[in-house]
A and B are shown apart, each in its own frame.
Chain A
Amino acid sequence: MDIKNQSVAKMIGWTEIALFDKNGKAKKLFHVNKVWAFFKKKLNVDLKIPFLFGNWSTRALKFNTITSVGKQIAAQQTGGTTTAPVTAIAIGIGTPSATALGSEIVSGGGSRGAATVSNQTTTTTGDTERWIKTFTFTTGFAITEEGLFDNNTSGGNMLASQSFSAVNVVNTDTLQITHNVKFA
């Protein structure tokens, strides 16, 4: 069936990451650009060179990848043919595949958990779903990936994911992940 000339809906996702020390002081993160993403994908290198590969900021923002199964989840949610909403944020130290994180953190305060989900407005009323989760660490990690899942503890389907320049956290640090998915 030719659907080219029909009304089209898109899913656009992005994540904001903020890191704080035990006193609540914001730590700077490397906010990457498309050049960084190209080198990361082709050579798997994490180059933190300001201006060329991004900039240091206290609030890093990055667009995500909506997975194929994520499109299926969105379609199923629209019609109610699934009973599993996307409820959790997970983080890891690898590179995400099409279906899961490469190396999900399961200890040290970085375990997957239920996020606070709310409906927000970006362009038109209620066009954006937002997930927020705050991790408080008891161990150090170099976090490089994040994903949204329909299971609060393990496994499940991954709606969206992203990889980013390593965020180095230490014991007592707090990392807040805000993941938005807008329908346009």
Chain B
Amino acid sequence: MKPKFEIGQKVKFVNDSDDEAGKVLGFSYTADRGFVYQISSKEVDLGKKEVINGIKSCSEKELVAVKSK
């Protein structure tokens, strides 16, 4: 069994725009969910006008690869 995405690869949640893509930080595997990836994510707090750094957790089928510009 091999993960579809590598650590450091640029990916995005399927419904997100390319601008919202992040890098794979890590992944885990369980029998019930398969590979689950943690990807880097940023949001701009529009009210406070500051960048919030966080993560998104997504299963393999919820992610698509994004080409680095």
Name A's B-contacting residues (CB within 8 A): 16, 18, 20, 24, 26, 58-59, 83-85, 87, 111, 113-118, 130, 132-134, 152-153, 174, 176, 178
Contacts and interface: CB of A to CB of B under 8 A. Distances in A.
B52 A87 contact: no
B47 A116 contact: no
Nearest to B53: A118
B43 interface: yes
Contacts of B33: 83-84
A176 B33 CA distance: 29
Contact of A134 (B46, B54, B55, B59): B46
Q: Most B CB atoms within 10 A — which of A83, A85, A111? A: A83
Do most interface residues of chain A lie in helix, strand or loop, or is the interface mixed? strand
Nearest to A118: B54
B58 interface: yes
A136 to B, nearest CB: 8
B67 to A, nearest CB: 20
A176 B48 CA distance: 12
Contact of B46 (A87, A152, A176): A176
B16 A116 contact: no
B55 A117 contact: yes
Contact of B47 (A130, A133, A176): A176
B53 A114 contact: no
B46 A130 contact: no
Given A114-B16, A153-B62, 20 more contacts: A24-B46, A83-B30, A83-B33, A83-B36, A113-B13, A113-B16, A114-B56, A116-B52, A116-B54, A116-B55, A118-B53, A130-B52, A130-B54, A132-B43, A132-B45, A132-B52, A152-B13, A152-B58, A152-B59, A152-B62
Contacts of B30: 83
A16 B42 CA distance: 17
